[in-house]
Amino acid sequence: MLAAMTNRTLIIESQALFAKALAQMLTLDPSIQVVGDAEAITDSVVRSARPDLLLIDIDGNSIDLVESIQTARAAAPNVRVCALSMHLQPDVMQRCLNAGTDGFVVKDVTPNEFMRAVKSVAGGETYVDPRIAGRLLRRRTSNNRYPDPADLSAREVEVVRLIVAGMSNKEISASLHLSEKTIKNHVSRIFTKFNCTARTQAAVYALRSGLV
Amino acid sequence: MKSVLVGVIEPQRLFAPYLTQLLSGVGFNVVASLESVSLDVIGRNEPDVVFVDLDFVEVEPITAIRQLHGVVPSATICAYTGRTDEGWAAACSGAGANCVISKSATPSEIISGIQHALDVGAFVDDRLNGVS
């Protein structure tokens, strides 16, 4: 008799408590074998864990998702990747899919739905949260004359929203508890990505592209 | 001995049950498990500790701390945060969080941090102290 196939799953989670929570949920399913957890994807982590599935919590994580997935697939070419996020936003999901993930799960789902999503991705299917899939498809079919907000990082999105609210760099700095220099760097990167040179232009782009 | 009443604010629905399980498992009495900063519920339950995941609350985090502190001034407000930027822990403390715990903390470190805050009145995770 053949042994039942199990999916070796590696959890990438910067929050130690939630890494344990995910492991506890996943191990309830006999088809999933949690082979470890780590705060970031490195070549050595992936090579030693030999995962079939990577489950990555992208929130509060400063990892470069594109680079991380490239690293993972260089070490484990067939690995499936499922991103986990708190953000029920098409832009965030799009960023994940562009980076090469096979699934995108929002953290407000029930444990049962979470397990269904994880098993779908592990089984070779693509899973995206059905609530945002439709919005994404609608956006893709419309002509987008404006810069793609999916190019912005989560922090840049926060900053551009405060620009739209009319805040100065100093005010944004106080609101986000970051230095003014950091805010200036974010604004500069937003300008580059939006191909503009003024805050008003950035605000208009953000509004028209549906970011705000 | 009176059990410690805890209110949990964790918007990540997937993780909230685990957090409750962790706190209950060491004898805390979780009297409210909320996905948002529901001040009326917190005020009604009068918890000794409010454990709030600051990274995902729907209001500005410092405002959330101030509001919670205002509603239950004698409670230990425990800010659970993934932010490590300069001055952040101090800002949380200044707003009324007498316990600030990093999301890098292990489950046992979380419990000992809360207990420390209850025992001596304040706790700031060393990982955050270094940058505040």
- The domain that holds A176 is classified in CATH as 1.10.10.10
Calpha distance A7→A9 (Å, rounded): 6
The b-or-e profile of A96-124 (16+ CB within 10 A means b, else e) is bbebebbbbbbbbbebebbbebbbbbbee
Contacts of A16 in chain B (CB under 8 A): 103-107, 109
* Closest CB from A18, A110, A179 relative to B15: A18
Choose the weakest-confidence range: A8-12, B2-6, B86-90, B127-131: B127-131
A20 touches chain B (CB under 8 A): yes
- Whether residue A60 lies inside any domain: the answer is yes
User: Is there a contact between A60 and B82 if contact means CB atoms under 8 Å apart?
Assistant: yes
User: Is there a contact between A15 and B82 if contact means CB atoms under 8 Å apart?
Assistant: yes
Calpha distance B54→A131 (Å, rounded): 25
Calpha distance A163→A141 (Å, rounded): 28
Calpha distance B36→A124 (Å, rounded): 35
- Picking from B104, B8, B65, the residue whose alpha carbon sits closest to that of residue A177 is B65
Cross-sheet strand order for the sheet of A7-12: A32-38, A7-12, A53-57, A80-85, A103-106, A127-128
| pLDDT (0 to 100) of residue B112 | 96
- The domain that holds A97 is classified in CATH as 3.40.50.2300
| pLDDT (0 to 100) of residue B8 | 97
**pLDDT tens-digit series, residues B15-38:** 999 999 999 999 999 999 998 999
Calpha distance B96→A164 (Å, rounded): 30
- Indicate whether A128 and A164 sit together in one domain: no
Calpha distance A9→A36 (Å, rounded): 7
- Indicate whether A42 and A128 sit together in one domain: yes
Question: Is residue B66 pLDDT above 70, yes or no?
Answer: yes
The residue in chain B having the minimum alpha-carbon distance to the alpha carbon of residue A87 is: B56
- Indicate whether A46 and A120 sit together in one domain: yes
Contacts of A18 in chain B (CB under 8 A): 12, 15, 18, 103
Calpha distance B3→A90 (Å, rounded): 44
Number of alpha carbons in the 13 Å side-chain half-sphere of residue B112 = 7
Mean pLDDT of B100-119: 95
CB contacts under 8 A, A 146-205 vs B, are 175, 177-179
Low-confidence ranges of chain A (pLDDT < 50): 1-2, 143
- The domain that holds B38 is classified in CATH as 3.40.50.2300
- Picking from A189, A188, A190, A161, the residue whose alpha carbon sits closest to that of residue A175 is A161
- Indicate whether A84 and A156 sit together in one domain: no
- Indicate whether A185 and A123 sit together in one domain: no
* Closest CB from B19, B56, B85 relative to A86: B56
Of all residues in chain B, what percent carry a pLDDT higher than 90? 78
* Closest CB from A17, A111, A179 relative to B14: A111
| pLDDT (0 to 100) of residue B99 | 97
**pLDDT tens-digit series, residues A112-162:** 899 999 999 999 999 988 888 776 666 655 545 556 667 788 888 889 889
